[in-house]
Amino acid sequence: MSKVWFVGAGPGDPELITLKAQKLIAQADAILYAGSLVSSAATQWAKPSCVIQDSKGMTLEEITDWLILHAVEAATVIRLQTGDPGLYGALVEMVQPLDKAGIAVGVVPGVTSAMASAAAAVETLTLPEVTQTVIFSRVEGRTPMPEGESLTELGQHHCTLCLYLSITLLKKVREDLLAAGWQDESAIVVVYKASWPNEQQIIHGTLATIKEQCKQAGINSQAMIIISPALGARQWTELKKSKLYDAQFSHRFRKAIKTQE
Ligand code: SAH
């Protein structure tokens, strides 16, 4: 029986593809990859007979038609997507026509660009008693935001925010976050092409400076914006340590060391 797999290719570095994805790519008869964001290196494991096509320039309907056509002829068909297919990946829009055509579907998760960006900058997205929550979102541009999800509303949590698809909207990011109570001095990091060998750029700035810094660096696409009260914690001298590693804290695998009062 043929099956169409929606496979997360990770953020760019081919070594950040999962083993499962790599095995499926090696076995695939047809691969349609999102060439604007997925490195062609991700298809390096494909067998010589595999049909490989870049979907750059194709409409959603053309993409699903292609997947259906190849699924009828071949056993393993892959739609290779950037990061994780479940984040801004039009997954459901592509799965529905396949469901209608009676074609089996599977999804392989991938390393999303927010995680690759945090890793590149050696930043933690959660820090004890600073923030314990991460929001993955975007700023309203051409795609309207559902009620209650404007950046001004989300920003009021003062937790970590990872903003996808918003690098051309830094003016609005600043305005919305100032309205949510953040400061012009609040730290912000932009990571361009996180994990792409030789192309990655990390820009450290503040709400006030980041737009100009990105302009100077020529960054206007494929970038992640991270705003967090935990940014820069690597340099802090006082940290609340995670309880998990605290000698006074018992858990399933370790008894607390008793200290004398
Ligand atoms: N499914 C993808 C997101 C697709 S939307 C994922 O999980 O990462 C495309 C947006 O993702 C871009 O506008 C950018 O904000 C972000 N992005 C994708 N790859 C990136 C990378 N290597 N570095 C930084 N941001 C990236």
Domain ranges of the chain: 3-108, 113-234
Mean pLDDT value of segment 30-45:
85
CA angle 48–41–74, rounded 5-degree value: 40
Atom of ligand 1 nearest to the CA of 85: 1
Q: How far is the CA of 239 from the centre of ligand 1 (A)?
A: 31
Position 116 scores a pLDDT of 98
Q: Say if ligand 1 is within 6 A of residue 37 CB.
A: yes
- The CATH superfamily label for domain 3-108 reads Tetrapyrrole methylase, N-terminal domain (3.40.1010.10)
The DSSP 8-state label assigned to residue 233 in this structure reads G
Instruction: Kindly report, residue by residue over 189-238, the tens digit of the pLDDT.
Output: 999 999 998 999 999 999 999 999 999 999 999 999 999 999 999 999 98
Question: What is the pTM (predicted TM-score) of this model?
Answer: 0.93
Instruction: Kindly report, residue by residue over 121-133, the tens digit of the pLDDT.
Output: 999 999 999 999 9
Q: How far is the CA of 96 from the centre of ligand 1 (A)?
A: 23
Given this structure, which CATH class describes domain 113-234?
Answer: alpha beta
Outline where DSSP puts E strands in 51-180.
Answer: 51-54, 76-81, 104-108, 134-138, 160-164
Position 248 scores a pLDDT of 66
Q: How far is the CA of 219 from the centre of ligand 1 (A)?
A: 13
20 neighbors 95 (Cβ within 8 angstroms):
no
Q: How far is the CA of 118 from the centre of ligand 1 (A)?
A: 13
Q: Say if ligand 1 is within 6 A of residue 224 CB.
A: yes
Position 115 scores a pLDDT of 98
Q: How far is the CA of 159 from the centre of ligand 1 (A)?
A: 20
Q: Say if ligand 1 is within 6 A of residue 39 CB.
A: no
Percent of the chain whose pLDDT exceeds 90: 84
